[in-house]
Chains A and B, each alone.
Chain A
Amino acid sequence: MAEVHIIGEIKEAKAFSKQELFCKWYLHIGNNWRVIEGKREGDTQVASSPFIDTCHWSYPIDLHLATSGIQGWPKIYLEVYHLDWLGRAHLFGYGLVTIPTSPGRHTLDCYTWRPLGTLRDRIFQFFLGGGLQIKYPDLIFSPENRYRLSTEAMGVVTLELELILRNFNNYGVEY
């Protein structure tokens, strides 16, 4: 089986409207893929910075995957939350980023979004926080059901990943 190593970090979040952000991440892979070692989900610390609108997480990712097919190339699914001073977590963005298919160092920007409610929802959200969340996050992965959503733009999550591929050449796969 061909192997893929994903080594890197969830680096930072930029351009979000608030600080004190944390990120939950999940690995999303197809049926041909198997996680041999490494955590396939996790959450970062709650980061803030005093002078700029960038939250630095430097959260490490280290995954060892094996595959018997190219379909379902791994994706990383992100949820960004804001933790307020009362310890409540508010959803601040969903994002999906595809792992590149070529080895080497990659800087990936994940542009995140969140569902947009009605005017009444937004007034409540402005004063109380919270807001709409997606009940079945599987919706995010499928291109079929996205048309039901109405969203607004949130910030950018930057990932820096290094990919190591192994034995793809033995199967005649060019990358």
Chain B
Amino acid sequence: MSDGTFLLIISGQIEFLDVMAPANTSYHCKYEFYSGPDWKIIGGLENGLSQVANIINNNDKVVFNFPVEVQFKSTNPFGWPQLVLSVYKEMKLEGYGRVHLPTQPGCHKMEVNLSKPKSGYLLGQLWSFLGYQPELLEPTNLASTTGTNLIRMVSTGKAFMTFNIVTQGFLTLGYDSGPTHNRGE
């Protein structure tokens, strides 16, 4: 494209979670994209909410098989889109995950670490013992890194995702994102 823009086409899935899932619980998750000022979504959903996945046996995989299909347009790789995942167990936060979308075309299997905030002081930890779970008002702050310093967070597991990335007009703008499968030469 001659107008200095390139396209980034993502089709992927949030496959499953690997968390300590006790029987008779249910999980759902929410994804949202965070990208820089030059980026624009030209198709697909910027955020989405998954189905409720019920756990029958202890330590089952939490299978979402949740499709994510978005098309971005940009003039500048700065602010490359990030996916922020919020996982809920029943109605309580179980973990946040954050990942940059791959910059290279192709199929990418991603492992995203999940973690949840915990209170920094003892009284708050007593509250969390009684069932209160702190949450971030704006989970995309993990992607923009505003105000996340000195928050205490605990790992809770992993999310597994697959992303297929296609770019259009990226090479003709002079960018090189490394060896890829098909450069169209």
Q: Which residues of A contact B (CB under 8 A)?
A: 5, 7-9, 11-12, 20, 22, 36-39, 42-50, 52, 54-56, 58-60, 62-64, 83, 85, 87, 102-105, 162-170
Contact = CB atoms under 8 A, between A and B. Distances in A.
B11 interface: no
Given A45-B151, A45-B153, A58 B99 contact: yes
A48 B152 contact: yes
A37 B78 contact: yes
Interface stretch (B23-31, B48-56, B60-68, B171-179): B171-179
13 contacts: A36-B78, A43-B149, A46-B151, A47-B152, A54-B155, A60-B82, A63-B78, A64-B76, A64-B78, A104-B177, A105-B103, A163-B177, A164-B103
Contact of B113 (A39, A56, A168, A169): A56
A102 B178 contact: yes
Given A42-B145, A62-B36, A169-B176, 11 more contacts: A7-B100, A9-B100, A36-B78, A37-B78, A39-B145, A45-B150, A46-B151, A46-B153, A47-B155, A48-B153, A162-B104
Contacts of A52: 155
Contacts of B98: 9, 58, 60
